[in-house]
Amino acid sequence: MSASMTARAAGIILPAIRRSYAATTTTNEAGDRLVHAKPLANTLTLIPGGTRGIGLAVAKLFASKGSRVVILGRDPDRIQHVLNSELPPITPEANVDHAGFKCDVANREEVEDIVKEVVKIAPVDYLITSAGVAIGSLLVSVKPEDVETTMNINLMGTIWVNKAVVKEMLRQRKGSIVNISSVLGSGGSLGQTIYSASKGGVIAFSKALAKEVGSRGISVNILSPGYTETDMTQGLTEEMRADIIARTSLGRMGQPDEIAEAALFLAQARFVTGQVLTVDGGLAL
């Protein structure tokens, strides 16, 4: 039995996780006008890591703009919560809804199988990759398994999802990809050698991919957030937090919705590709 068949048998791929209530099948003229009035109406946005932090903020923003959102995450209960309680419906009258899949982005075969299921829902217009981990450690003391986990999720996970989605976008001859990196991918930080390497890899990978697929109408850009108020930064000590804020021109840490707004800009920017948009409040100045 193949790995992908094993995943299916275990219930990882199918069915897609959806809202717990039954989807409505009624439509009306007013509802149709409401859907089409939104800027991302009739689009599908795929968001690995869309259950928490920046990814969740992106999912909520894109859903509010009318896009059908498909989130990928590792916790089915969390996915169900986001679908039921966090994402606004596209419109109460529309016979479409958001969906989610349990997915380990570091598992190439699992990613490929899930993307095949996603495109059965609708073609992917926007891919915003937000799945990531941050395990802090000095290089001399970092555990080998932590190196593998960080690189497999942050870098290889981004590569596998991009690879699977780009195959579909090439058939469509259109699409927009925003890979979320970090300011540490350009500048590094004490105790974050492996994380910085993984995020730097995302930047280099995305720039190269932009050159490969631009002629097919596909844009690939990189969003590099600074320190943002998410689960990842909850472990910062008060001293570390004060130091970051002191070095940030705007005098505070970012909010997930502020990063999401930047992701929306890049996703819709029709003549921008291969670029890094740094959203850090002036930390890197």
Q: What is the reported pLDDT for 285?
A: 85
Domain total for the chain? 1
Q: What is the reported pLDDT for 206?
A: 99
Q: Which amino acid is at 222?
A: I
- Whether 171 is covered by a domain: the verdict is yes
- Whether 23 is covered by a domain: the verdict is no
* H-state helical runs in the chain: 3-9, 29-37, 53-64, 76-81, 108-121, 144-150, 157-172, 184-187, 193-213, 238-247, 256-268
% of residues, the chain, pLDDT over 90:
73
Using an 8 Å Cβ cutoff, are 66 and 41 in contact? yes
- Whether 284 is covered by a domain: the verdict is no
- Whether 106 is covered by a domain: the verdict is yes
- Whether 226 is covered by a domain: the verdict is yes
Under-50 pLDDT residues of the chain? 1-14, 21-35
Location of structure tokens 């915003």:
128
Q: What is the reported pLDDT for 106?
A: 97
- Whether 81 is covered by a domain: the verdict is yes
Tell me the per-residue pLDDT of 77-111, one tens digit each, with 9 for 90 and over: 999 999 999 998 886 555 678 999 999 999 999 99
- Whether 27 is covered by a domain: the verdict is no
Q: What is the reported pLDDT for 37?
A: 62
Q: What is the reported pLDDT for 23?
A: 38
- Whether 21 is covered by a domain: the verdict is no
Q: What is the reported pLDDT for 38?
A: 82
Find the domain containing 98 and state its range.
Answer: 3-16+32-279
What are the C-alpha distances in Å from 117 to residues 13, 70, 149, 152, 191?
8, 11, 26, 23, 39
Q: What is the reported pLDDT for 92?
A: 59
CATH code of residue 137: 3.40.50.720
Handedness of CA 214, 65, 117, 171 (dihedral sign): negative
Phi-psi region of 155 (alpha: psi -120 to 50; beta: other; left: phi over 0): alpha
Backbone angles phi, psi at 208, to 5 degrees: -65, -40
Q: What is the reported pLDDT for 8?
A: 34
Q: What is the reported pLDDT for 231?
A: 80
Q: What residues act catalytically? A: 195
